Structure 1
């Protein structure tokens, strides 16, 4: 069976999944708008002893974008997890049979359409149908948007353990029948303003120095140490550049996406502070692209000079982002 719904075409897995679920509810918003309503902008530098090199992330924790979108749009979000693979599939199958598209969180390593599988348990897809052997999914544009994988591989992906995993997590979105919120230009403008302020407040008050503008500043120092201690400088910096630019971030570590959200937000609200912040993020996104290009040069040449240049640019970016988010607060 296949639910007749329009797949969302997106670059980031969580917003693509949420966009597909929202489409079934008759709510059609751009991916930058979803990212902004999800209060998604952040920054993380994360390094554990078991990791060869640091992870640099540009968004808030997995699951939070979905939760924030549901809260800001006044929707009912239902989330379930279970350790039972049989129960996990039975519950999703019942929802599909009832005509509901379902969001899944899983480890993309097991999905058969991934050409270069790697373990990442924070991946999202929407499931919109199945037959006796296969599941019909919606994934990012990079993966093909409408894709198919076997039911066996889907079960493995959903039940995987590891960092960021939520075993067999699935979720649905619904209109709240007791408090429906009609989507008008005025109500969306109010919702956007609220989301912007909350995102800015969170960004400007990081609980630890690994996060947000403080994390960017820390990264400016850590990449020099990383270069000096790495056993495989070129591969590690090249891989990081690829993850920052092309692994579902919308480019420039989600800054392109937030820049475009602010442009839409200004068109909705007419707020001058949002316009000024948008202009700031035009430069911020450009500078992040430059950092990524410098990482690519390290990957190509192994030359420390490019790391030093990236370090200086990151110091500037920390200040730029702090100032831009202060405008939005």
Structure 2
């Protein structure tokens, strides 16, 4: 049995920022969740559909673990990442830091975690682990999942070993904050510009503002696209508004990040970006509600309206990112 003492087990809205918060607070660096998300250049958009998928996926952030790498690079943090195919080595990679008094981050498939009430495979889930005994692992997950939680060691092992989309091979990570850590305020503008550049110049039409425009064209067809519209559309709306996004497909988090930045930096482009993302966040919540209603009712006009709003969102977010790119 081993447990790291003095862990601040605050759960946040999103899994990766929750784990980062636990690890960084233990190192003496306490940043808000929007600041963690924004400094990690976390906002993005993807419309993902392929023949093997039952229904399209809408994503509002960069791919799993990229936020952690971005944040570590931005602040000059020492990020140690380990992956292995060996379950025995995988356990050593978790146990050693905890015995040494340090929490550790894990990427795994949430399907196998005992405390998850909704059993859906998601291999990009991230938690912080701070202890274990003969039977259970002690984790910090998002506030909606319970914050400080526990799961069986057997379930944890299955979650870490799972293969499939977005999974990693028993990935663990620890973070050290150096004595000369870069001031977060000094990295705000570079992080915003990095995010804006990626959003404005996507390599394929499924990403960034082009991806939102593509979604606007596809959403009105979703009742025909789905074999079970009630289930598929309800799940999609739930993923947009809940499921660790902080609401509005991560736009609430980015809006709040820009608001926090605007309190520290007096800049008209920043204020414009914040105003437009406040507008976008409200509209994304409306889109999620329309998708859910279409799933319940089977009525296509709700999806037509969602498509119209999405056309506007593509323009609003493009304008916001163009303003922010001029910082």
Residue in 1 aligned with 2:83?
A: 81
Are residue 204 (structure 1) and residue 203 (structure 2) matched?
Answer: no
For 1:300, what is the secondary structure of its paired residue?
Answer: helix
TM-fit CA distance, 1:8: 3.2
Out of 295, 299, 304, the residue aligned to residue 308 of structure 1 is: 304
TM-fit CA distance, 1:244: 0.4
Query: Are 2:11 and 2:146, in contact at CA under 8 Å, matched by a contact in 1?
Result: no
Out of 218, 228, 233, the residue aligned to residue 237 of structure 1 is: 233
Are residue 122 (structure 1) and residue 118 (structure 2) matched?
Answer: no
Are residue 30 (structure 1) and residue 26 (structure 2) matched?
Answer: no
Query: Are 1:8 and 1:23, in contact at CA under 8 Å, matched by a contact in 2?
Result: no
Superposed counterparts of 1:95-134, under 5 Å: 95-134=97-136
Query: Are 1:35 and 1:257, in contact at CA under 8 Å, matched by a contact in 2?
Result: yes
Residue in 2 aligned with 1:273?
A: 269
Are residue 262 (structure 1) and residue 263 (structure 2) matched?
Answer: no
Out of 160, 176, 191, the residue aligned to residue 187 of structure 2 is: 191
For 2:237, what is the secondary structure of its paired residue?
Answer: helix
Residue in 2 aligned with 1:171?
A: 173
Aligned length: 323
Segments ≥4 residues shifted beyond 4 Å: none
Superposed counterparts of 1:35-50, under 5 Å: 35-50=37-52
Residue in 2 aligned with 1:214?
A: 210
For 2:285, what is the secondary structure of its paired residue?
Answer: helix
Q: How far apart are the structure 2 equivalents of 1:256 and 1:38?
A: 15
Residue in 2 aligned with 1:181?
A: 181
Residue in 2 aligned with 1:227?
A: 223
Query: Are 1:10 and 1:16, in contact at CA under 8 Å, matched by a contact in 2?
Result: yes
TM-fit CA distance, 1:299: 1.6
Q: How far apart are the structure 1 equivalents of 2:19 and 2:38?
A: 15
Residue in 1 aligned with 2:93?
A: 91
The root-mean-square deviation of aligned C-alpha atoms, in Å, is: 1.1
Q: How far apart are the structure 1 equivalents of 2:296 and 2:155?
A: 36
1:256-312 CA-partner distances (Å, limit 9, x unpaired): 000000000111112221111111111110111110111111022110000100011
TM-fit CA distance, 1:231: 2.0
Gaps of 5+ in 2: none
1:213-240 CA-partner distances (Å, limit 9, x unpaired): 0000000111123322322222211110
Q: How far apart are the structure 2 equivalents of 1:25 and 1:8?
A: 15
